[in-house]
Amino acid sequence: MTAAFPIWVIILDYILGVIMWTLIGRVAMNVFLPENSDFFFMRVFVKFTDPIIRIFKPITPEFLIQPFVPLFVAWFFFMFRFYAMPWLLGYSVMGMLSFPLESDIAGELHRLLK
């Protein structure tokens, strides 16, 4: 799957995918823990996602409750990966599970569980 894309596309998608999943992870962790928790993983999620959330603050609606703001920001990364990346690369559609990061993870899981 990854051989079909130039290396810069793979690297960009991996970076955007990790950011997106980290934002989603922060929302999931926030269901169980407050943002100021001493739990190591929650501190990491907050530390790495706060700068990204600050960048998106001007376009984040005020009516969103604070724990869901990272999910709103993750949605932008998803939209860029799903719509803008294929368009910029000249593809009309890339299909389901066409994200290189998720495709590689799914392929490795399939290989391990086979």
Task: Give the ranges where 2-114 is alpha helix by DSSP (H).
Answer: 7-32, 40-56, 69-79, 85-89, 100-113
Helix axis angle for 40-56 and 7-32, nearest 10°, is: 120
Tens digit of each residue's pLDDT (9 = 90 or more) over 6-34 = 788 888 888 999 999 999 999 999 999 99
Mean pLDDT (whole number) for 88-112: 73
pLDDT, residue 2, reads 55
- Indicate the pTM of the whole model: 0.80
Tokens of 104: 């590689």
Contact present, 9 and 25 (Cβ < 8 Å) = no
Tokens of 19: 């950011």
